[in-house]
Structure 1
Amino acid sequence: MTTSPNAPMTSPTRRDITAETGLPYVPPGTIPAPASAYDGLPRDTAVAGDRGWDRDSELSQMSKAVIATVFGLALLIAAFAVIGRLGGWAADYGTILVYLAFFLWMSIAGRVFWWGADTLIAEIRKKSNTGDCR
């Protein structure tokens, strides 16, 4: 059987689906979502076997900022370490591709570094304004 490329596409009917799977047809959105075992419990209630989010295990904003600053700085150092090879790579792989990739690398590295640095500075200022420097 051949069909025209302009022929409308049809989807299987309910009869076709039930014949193939042996399951009754249930329209989408008619079955309610299953109830969670934790419905009705306060958010901070620990349940045996609960592997949910632990508020105490979350990194502080200061820790995230230090990690981002160090990681961004490492990315920037790596970029500056290979800057002399860009000309050779551009000759081998294409100027646009190499310099676009380098620009993207530097943009991401700079953004990660400055987010971390700005967050660190803000945290330090906040602590120095409250007199909570320890």
Structure 2
Amino acid sequence: MNAPPADVERRTVLVVEDEYLLAIELKRALVGGGFEVLGPAGSVNHALDLVSKKRPHAAVLDVTLGSETVSPVALHLKSLGVPFILASAVSPRELARYPIFSGVLNLGKPTDLGHLVRVMQSL
């Protein structure tokens, strides 16, 4: 996949994933797809801190981050008008417990990295 020309601002994607190897795979795929990556962030606080420093164009979120859920990050992104998708193994039934995730695309795990890049390019 080609990176954008030097005179075009690269779109920034926030990656929130607490599993290190998965986070690195997501980042590598997005960078290869021409994106700048914020993170990866492994916690809600880290993600919110990154967003306070630089507003992303989009985000890919894991739902479960250790003992916390990513919902505060999703709510903040929504308030900023930043689109996000999920890359989570959480079941649709469990996701339905969180209104913020209603109608949000979940690419699941393992995540098809090529599909992830195409989806991010379409946002």
* Normalised-by-shorter TM-score class: under 0.3
Q: TM-score, normalised by structure 1?
A: 0.18
Q: TM-score, normalised by structure 2?
A: 0.19
Q: Which has the higher strand share?
A: 2
Larger Rg: 1
**Looking at both structures, which has the greater relative contact order when contacts are Cα pairs under 8 Å and sequence separation is at least 6?**
1
Q: Which has the higher helix share?
A: 1
